[in-house]
Amino acid sequence: MRCRLRRPQPGRPVRRPGRDRQGERFEGQVALVTGGGSGIGLAVAEVLAAGGASVGLFGRNLERLRTAEKKIVAAGGEATACAGDVRDLDSVQSAVAEVEQRYGPITFAVNAAGTGVGQKYLCDEDEESWLRTIDTNLNGSFRFCRAVVPGMMHRRRGSIVLVSSAAGKRGVPANTAYSASKWGLNGLVRSLALEVGSAHVRVNAVCPGFTDTEMVRGESL
């Protein structure tokens, strides 16, 4: 099942049957959520869709994204699956273009894609696993921001949220790569917020603690 192609008219939210006023807080908005097939990303996407936003679900596992899409559509929301990888700038930019062609300009961008798989003590960690963690969590956040920021600044409107971690605020043994990537992500948020604030674009991080998600069970999103 694909989502409806109806595009909300800017400034004229369309009320959907059965949704009360509290559930319209995102009506007429367009969101892109990475890691949207499961875990924190899916939870965020469901809240945005329930509030009236049209949501693009981005991630590497298309089957999982399709399942999430059907779940949101069955609940009365609008969503579309966009397969891709935050380690590839072209695929992120393609997802942005696809979502904006389908629904209109992205106003909310949430990067929940990340990996914590295979974390070890530094003395046991090889360079390949270190670089994979940094490339997904930190460089992936850069690519995500690079893909959505120019349009938001041009329109002088937008909100970006990067999902960081409590590990980005304190050291965690046997998680050196993960902690380093999240500390870097928090620095990215602080600096980018200063760069784009004058264009009315907000940039924030959320830093959850240990959360029971697929990533914690050994999967990359």
Q: Where are the domains of the chain?
A: 23-206
Give 11 or 217, the one with higher predicted confidence: 217
- For the domain covering 23-206, report its CATH number: 3.40.50.720
pLDDT number for residue 82: 97
Measured CA to CA, the distance from residue 41 to residue 106 in angstroms comes to: 16
Q: What is the rounded average pLDDT for all residues in the chain?
A: 88
pTM of the shown model: 0.84
43-185-157 Cα angle (round to 5): 65
Contact call for residues 118 and 215 (beta carbons, < 8 A): no
- Which has the higher per-residue pLDDT, 217 or 199? 199
178 is catalytic: yes
Name the catalytic one among 178, 184, 188, 196.
Answer: 178
Measured distance CA(147)–CA(220) in Å, rounded: 21
Residue 177: pLDDT over 60: yes
- Does 12 have pLDDT greater than 50? no
Fill in the amino acid letter for 168: G
The candidate with the shortest Cα–Cα distance to 118, out of 165, 176, 60, is: 176
pLDDT of 210 reads 61
Over residues 139-152, the pLDDT tens digits come to 999 999 999 999 99
pLDDT for position 24: 73
Determine whether 121 is exposed, middle or buried from the number of CB atoms within 10 Å of its CB (0-12, 13-18, 19+): exposed
pLDDT above 70: percentage of residues in the chain? 84
State pLDDT tens for residues 101-111: 999 999 999 99
